[in-house]
Structures are given as structure tokens and as C-alpha cells.
A = this chain, B = another copy of it.
Amino acid sequence: MEALKNKILHEGQAIGSEIIKVDSFLNQQIDAQFMYEIGDEFKQRFQDKQVDKILTIEASGIAIAVCTSKSFAYPPVVFAKKAAAGEVSETEDAFYSYIAKSLTKDTTSHVKLAKKFLSAGDNVLIIDDLLAYGEAALALCDIVKQAGAHVVGIGAVIEKEFQGGGTLLRESGYAVESLAIIEKIEDGKITFKPDNL
């Protein structure tokens, strides 16, 4: 998505060889108008899919998911919550819960979703802002599986290909669409993967 790549280059900030900051339009300050363009692009990428629900994770996925819902004629949006390990009892019957181990930090966290918001048979589109190591997406996929529902696709605004999450998910059989794929970051310089490969 050319407009997105331009925005990343002009408004984003690459740090070292791992980090891309896009908090001026995606993660903390939100360019709402641009979010609708992103929603339309997801609709185009997943146009053959039946989407009953859009699932994301707090906080930065919410804006994108809500704008994407508009492009899909308004399926309900549901967001999973993050809790520090210990805050959520695993025996809480009302929640689907997943313990995510951080690959970058030596921590675990709980991802949880009230069971009433996902039902067996639901066709679920997972949406998130960043796809790096894939921890959040894997957590959401697991929750969908717990519900007996079906992941029709995973849409990420930005994928950092070199961190492997996208590859892992595609090899697991998921339809992953990332609107801008970063091959590498070197001394603050971003190299994108060409769109049509």
C-alpha cells in the first residue's frame, strides 16, 4: 500500500535495526481519515471472505478494527484485553484466556476475552497494527480456536518480516495480509518488500 509506505517514511521513525515508531499516526496519535483507507485496503485484500466478527487486541488495534468494520458493512468488533500474569485467574470460566510469553522481554502476560463475544462457527478476521514476532496474533488465533470459531484471515498494518511472525503464521496455514512489509531496518533506513511479490 503505497500511501502507507510513504506515511511510514515521512512520519515514522526507524530506530536501530529493530524498531519502527509510528505513534504519530497509528499507535497513540491516530490519523482517523487514514484509518478508513486502511480499512478499505483490508476489505480489498479479504474481499472473498465471509467476516462475522473482527477481533483485535487493546489498545492500538481498536481504531484500525473499527474503521475496518465500516469497510466490511459493520460486523461487530471485539477486542481482547491484556493483563499482567497473576491478574487473571485461569479458572475464570467466563473468559477465553491465553498465556503469552514475550520473546523480547522475559515476561508472560495473559490475553483474555469474555466467552460471550465469540461463538462456535464465527468467521473471524484478526486485525492488528504491527506484526513482529507474532505473539499477539498467535494469542488471538488460539482464542478463536478455543471458541470453536474460524480465522478467515489476519490483517496487519505493518509487518516486520525479519522478526518472523508473519512467516510463522503463513506456514501454519493462515491467510496473512500485511499492508506494508519491512524487510530490514539498517541505521534508521527502512527497506520495504515490493508490493507485488
Q: How far is the CA of A151 from the CA of B99 in the complex (A)?
A: 40
Report A98-151 residues with CB < 8 Å from chain B CB. 113-114, 116-117
Contacts of A33 in B (CB 8 A): 69-70, 74
Residues of B within 8 A of A77 (CB): 29-30, 32, 63
Contacts A30-B76, A58-B58, A76-B29 given: A35-B81 contact, CB under 8 Å?
Answer: no
How many subunits of this chain does the assembly comprise?
A: 2
Also in contact, A28 and B114, with CB within 8 A (given A58-B59, A59-B81, A79-B59): yes
Which residues in window 27-78 of A have CB below 8 A to B? 28-33, 35-36, 58-59, 62-63, 65-67, 69-70, 74, 76-78
Most chain B CB atoms below 10 A, which of A62, A63, A78, A81: A62
State A117–B31 Cα separation when bound (angstroms): 12
CA A117 to CA B23, docked complex, whole Å = 9
Given A28-B114, A28-B117, A117-B29, verify A35-B78 contact (CB < 8 Å): no
What mask results when residues 18 to 32 of chain A are scored 1 for a CB within 8 Å of chain B, else 0?
000001100011111
Closest residue of B by beta carbon distance from A76: B29
CA distance in complex: A29, B124 (Å):
13
- Please list 18 pairs of residues, one from A and one from B, whose beta carbons are closer than 8 Å in the complex, sorted by A's number: A24-B116, A28-B117, A29-B78, A29-B117, A30-B65, A30-B76, A30-B78, A32-B69, A32-B70, A32-B76, A33-B70, A33-B74, A35-B66, A59-B81, A62-B62, A62-B63, A66-B66, A66-B67
Q: Which residues of A contact B (CB under 8 A)?
A: 23-24, 28-33, 35-36, 58-59, 62-63, 65-67, 69-70, 74, 76-79, 81, 113-114, 116-117
